């Protein structure tokens, strides 16, 4: 009798909010969940809390800073050496910064983490994906007001938090569409979603605490992290979307995107820019055949 292999899902930004909620929901569905976190202390705390609520949950903590291409390469090298199949990748982590900040590589933080960090992580993890694997990108309705500022993507001039965040979220949708197109023959699906307005700590400055009081006041009007994670989990698990790829979802249903998000030429241009920034090529990371 053939033993059924337990499926593995990796979630970025899994120490809090929607990432943590999705981890709980997927672990309860029988997935082995890799919590990919930047901060060891917060990651261990989240892992312990999730385990405390259900001891049967299979949870593994892994550390990676999505604002560091060097660290992403370190983590993916370690993961790929294990030779394990990755069934689902959920690109959930996200940052919002009121002031212009840069990643270790000198990229504007929101573009650098929300898009470029996930772009590099995804390409390098493709080495251990197979036909039937799924990639889920947590985007945002903010993509509708976004533009890709190709001549100023680092926003070294004219920075504004909304301009930066919406650019990174439009990049998420364009990346989803272009990667789905390029992986179509590999049998790997790539979809993205808008989780809705969710009460998380993403907009709170961890050092100063700025934004905490505003978030507390608005919390009754927001979705819970569990409600926000539902569409992510749907895209990661539902048989209904097993062969659907390159789409944008909201409340477990296909949703229209902005006009710019539909642009094939824009998606291809961004993909090439991202390959050049990371010095990584998709052709070098085509999935294993199984």
CB atoms within 10 A of CB 283: 9
Q: Crossing angle for the helix pair 161-182 and 118-125, nearest 10 degrees?
A: 20
Collect all residues with Cβ–Cβ distance below 8 Å to 229 and sequence separation of at least 6.
18, 19, 21, 22, 25, 195
Q: Which of 157, 165, 249, 250 is catalytic?
A: 165
Beta strands in the chain (DSSP E): 8-12, 32-37, 58-63, 88-91, 134-138, 189-193, 248-250, 253-254
Structural tokens at position 23: 């981890």
Q: Is residue 249 annotated as part of the catalytic site, yes or no?
A: no
Q: Which residues contact 277 (CB under 8 A, 6 or more apart)?
A: 107, 116
User: What contacts 24+ positions apart, CB below 8 Å, involve 205-214?
Assistant: 205/97, 205/98, 210/98
Angle (deg, nearest 10), helices 17-28 and 40-53 = 40
Per-residue tokens: 95: 């940052």
- Give the active site residues: 165
């Amino acid at each position: 009798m053939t033993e059924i292999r337990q499926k593995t899902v990796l979630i970025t930004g899994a120490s809090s909010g929607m990432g943590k909620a999705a981890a709980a929901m997927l672990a309860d569905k029988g997935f082995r969940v890799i919590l990919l976190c930047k901060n060891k202390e917060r990651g261990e705390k989240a892992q312990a809390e999730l385990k405390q609520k259900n001891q049967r949950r299979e949870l593994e903590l892994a550390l990676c800073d999505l604002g560091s291409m060097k660290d992403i390469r370190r983590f993916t090298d370690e993961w790929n050496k294990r030779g394990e199949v990755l069934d689902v990748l959920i690109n959930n982590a996200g940052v919002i910064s009121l002031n212009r900040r840069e990643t270790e590589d000198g990229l504007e933080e929101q573009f650098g983490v929300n898009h470029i960090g996930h772009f590099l992580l995804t390409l390098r993890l493709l080495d251990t994906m197979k036909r039937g694997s799924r990639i889920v990108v947590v985007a945002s309705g903010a993509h509708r007001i976004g533009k890709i500022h190709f001549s100023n993507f680092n926003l070294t001039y004219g920075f504004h938090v909304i301009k930066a965040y919406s650019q990174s979220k439009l990049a998420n949708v364009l990346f989803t569409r272009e990667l789905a197109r390029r992986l179509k023959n590999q049998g790997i699906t790539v979809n993205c979603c808008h989780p809705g307005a969710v009460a998380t700590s993403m907009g709170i400055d961890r050092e100063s605490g700025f934004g905490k009081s505003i978030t507390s006041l608005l919390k009754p009007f927001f979705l819970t992290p569990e409600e926000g994670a539902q569409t992510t989990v749907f895209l990661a698990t539902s048989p209904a979307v097993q062969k659907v790829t390159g789409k944008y979802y909201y409340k477990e249903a296909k949703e229209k995107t902005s006009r710019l998000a539909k642009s094939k030429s824009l998606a291809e241009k961004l993909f090439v820019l991202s390959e050049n920034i990371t010095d990584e090529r998709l052709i070098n990371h085509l999935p294993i055949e199984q």
